[in-house]
Amino acid sequence: MTTRRNFLQSSVLGSGALALSPSFNHLLGAVKPDPHPHRFIFIRKSNGNIPSQFSLPTFSEEQKKKDKDKEAFEADLDKHELPQWMRELDGHKENMTILNGISMEMSDGGHYSFSGCLGAYKAGRNTISGIKRTTVDFELAKLFPSPFDHVELSLASGSGTVAFRTGIVSGFSAPAMHQRNFCYADPQTAYEELFKSVTNTSAVDSDNVLLSYLHEQEGRRLKGLDGKERTKISNHVDSIQSIRQRNEKVASLTETISKNLPKIDKIHANGGPNASLPEKQDAFTDVMLAALISGLTNVVTYTMDDLGTPITTLPGNKGQVDLHRLGHSRDYELRDIVKASHVAQIAKIVTKLKSVPEGSGTMFDNTTIIYFPETGAGHHGPNTEAPMMIMTGKKSKLDIAGRFIRLPFHATEGHKTLGNWYTTLLNACGNPIEHYGDLDLAMSRKKMPQTGPIARFLA
């Protein structure tokens, strides 16, 4: 497990393998945040999403045929039943979108897409050189600044005999080209690091002393340097200063943090080796909600599972050990159980945020949750489809709520890619980028238009 002091030193002065600093650099020149910023929660799911499991059981015969033939159509959710695994969100159908037809060929990664599924590029084998651009979650975080900017949580599997990773580890999002994010791998570590301004003030004081020392030492090293070496050290100095400024911003939220501090069960101590998967998911959700409600962050990326995540403690599991083996099976019932455990957490997030007043409404009014697959339509793809479920509040800048939407199939007229989807999110929130992400080669060969947002989705 990485200690706080070792992490601060390695992340600020190291080679950038875990790039803490870029996630705070924009704070140096940030504009004053909107009093009610929009919030994004990206929930990554491994093993893909099988399209048929997102179909509505009460489709008409005509709709069933169009769905089977992958033809474009829409349906009002309030006129249909949801799939069984989604039923915990029955009371929130007005905020739900089931979106099918988006492809993600440009981020194909086999078992894993790593940062590619959030950056719309092929990330290779998770090397630093494979990180082609800032991922979309970090781009959105720039538009809605906060003290922690972007928070990443991950319930990915550990190595060897370790069931889950623990501590502060390498993440899957990317704050910049060739720079990997860090993430919190267990609920207790996330709790201690995000809320230490209230729970462990001595640690904050110690960090600030260390940062002051590092800032002074690195500042001295700038004298007499030029060229690339000066740029590198100058970036270190700016990074240290930005972290210090972040700590000051967090300190100003101490009262709000105290009011919203989550309760973490003792079972999660020391990485929580005896905590079940549902217990870990539930605790991470509590930490996430507290961070959002306290104003520590406006963008969260949560890797709900990866192929090695142990699922033996999942209620209803009759013997499958991990998601990799489940991916090679035809146990669709257990796949639904896995997704239902995710939906339970999404329902908890929506219900909680709807209970928190904000302006003339609630926090959920200014929230978008995107539940999406890492690898398209199955364990090994195909990546021609990537079914998603999206929950949007009343003040969302997207006009998609309350509908099942199937877009034209891959490489046919009117088809939309992952790049189009992310361009839509960015354009809706104030980034006028012409197109985000790589282009689809199959569509390029057919000379089909594929840049820009999905115009009909923009409110």
Please provide residue 186's backbone torsions phi and psi, each rounded to the nearest 5 degrees: -145, 155
In order of their start, the domains of the chain are 4-201+270-457 (3.40.720)
Angle, vertex CA 361, rays to CA 149 and CA 393, nearest 5 = 60
105 secondary structure, DSSP code: G
DSSP letter for each residue of 71-102: --EEEEGGGSPPPGGGGGGGGGGGGEEEEE--
- Tell how strand 299-303 and strand 367-373 pair up: unpaired
* Chain centroid offset of residue 432 CA: 22
* Chain centroid offset of residue 324 CA: 21
- Residue pair 318/192 in contact (Cβ under 8 Å)? The answer is no
CA–CA dist 207, 209 (Å, integer): 5
Percent of the chain with pLDDT over 70: 82
Q: How large is the C-alpha radius of gyration of the chain? A: 22
Residue range 310-336: mean pLDDT, rounded: 83
* Stretch among 221-230, 308-317, 332-341, 357-366 having the lowest mean pLDDT: 221-230
| Residue showing tokens 């893909």 | 48
pLDDT score, position 321 = 77
Question: What confidence tens digit (pLDDT) does each residue in 17-28 have?
Answer: 444 433 433 333
391 secondary structure, DSSP code: E
Question: What confidence tens digit (pLDDT) does each residue in 403-436 have?
Answer: 999 999 999 999 999 999 999 999 999 999 999 9
Q: Is 310 helix (H, G, I), strand (E, B) or coil?
A: strand
pLDDT score, position 11 = 46
298 secondary structure, DSSP code: S
Q: Where residue 201 falls among pLDDT bands split at 50, 70, 90?
A: low
Q: Mean pLDDT across the chain, nearest whole number? A: 85
CA–CA dist 387, 377 (Å, integer): 7
Give the residue among 29, 9, 38 at the shortest CA–CA distance from 21. 9
For 41-52, give one letter per residue: b (16+ CB within 10 A) or e.
bbbbbbbbbbbe
CA–CA dist 32, 453 (Å, integer): 27
Three-state helix/strand/coil letters over 198-223: HHCHHHHHHHHHHHHHHHHHHHHHHC
